[in-house]
């Protein structure tokens, strides 16, 4: 059963991720700018949002995106198995990949996507906990969300810090998911996020691709950390 769940999870992640490049390309624009209506490289107009594969005929095949989607959902399938959380976390992993792609390109986490991630995780998980008679689990998830949101808000308000409010909102949503899995997952997820982001920032500094004042996207590290926390704790 676990092998079948892992395979189905991998297929879902790969297939869903194949449709992300065009959406990411259209949404990876500065704040306050409408979605991109044409390819940024060849100016070919976009007539729709849904396209499997490369965002445009001029772009390469999104092999890394598909592999990333398959890897994330496979980890969830293998570690969680046929549990009620899995149908909630699989789409969340794909949406998280989309957020990471956008943040890497324009250092922005669109509020509608973060809200969709919140609704797609908090509502079903919360309802499931109440139906299963586990209000304590829901309370723990809410407490973790509040703690994570407050902690990152304080950091974001510090002078000179590169953390944005989008990161704060995302951390709050991910805190709920991690809290639902347990306090060890919260600790592992937060620690992993900083262990990922720190070496990346150091490598960029050493390669002179960033300076101490360069604002780096933190969303991908938060999302990767949350995946690690959920699948290892």
Distance CA 86, CA 74 (A): 11
pLDDT value at position 188? 96
Per the CB < 8 A criterion, the answer to whether 148 and 172 are in contact is yes
pLDDT tens digits for range 199-226: 776 776 666 665 666 667 899 999 999 9
Q: Answer yes or no: is pLDDT of 168 > 80.
A: yes
Per the CB < 8 A criterion, the answer to whether 113 and 166 are in contact is no
Give residue 8's pLDDT band: very low, low, confident or very high (50, 70, 90): very high
pLDDT tens digits for range 61-116: 999 999 999 999 999 999 999 999 999 999 999 999 999 999 999 999 999 999 99
Distance CA 59, CA 220 (A): 22
pLDDT value at position 41? 86
User: Where are the chain's structural domains?
Assistant: 2-232
Across 55-59, average pLDDT = 89
């Amino acid at each position: 059963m676990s092998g079948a769940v892992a395979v189905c999870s991998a297929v879902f992640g790969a297939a869903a991720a194949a449709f992300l490049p065009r959406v990411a390309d259209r949404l990876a624009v500065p704040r306050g700018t409408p979605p991109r209506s044409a390819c940024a490289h060849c100016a070919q107009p976009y007539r729709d949002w849904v396209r499997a594969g490369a965002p445009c005929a001029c772009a390469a095949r999104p092999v890394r995106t598909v592999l990333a989607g398959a890897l994330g959902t496979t980890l969830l399938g293998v570690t969680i198995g046929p549990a009620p959380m899995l149908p909630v976390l699989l789409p969340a992993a794909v949406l998280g990949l989309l957020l990471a792609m956008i943040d890497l390109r324009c250092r922005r986490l669109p509020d509608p996507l973060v809200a969709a991630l919140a609704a797609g995780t908090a509502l079903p998980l919360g309802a499931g906990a109440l139906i299963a008679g586990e209000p304590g689990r829901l309370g723990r998830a809410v407490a973790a969300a509040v703690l994570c949101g407050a902690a990152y808000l304080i950091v974001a308000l510090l002078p000179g810090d590169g953390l944005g409010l989008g990161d704060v909102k995302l951390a709050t949503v991910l805190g709920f998911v991690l809290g639902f899995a347990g306090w060890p997952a919260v600790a592992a997820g937060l620690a992993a996020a900083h262990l990922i982001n720190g070496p990346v920032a150091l490598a960029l500094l050493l390669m002179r691709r960033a300076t101490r004042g360069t604002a780096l996207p933190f969303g991908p590290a938060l999302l990767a950390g949350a995946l690690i926390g959920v699948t290892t704790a």
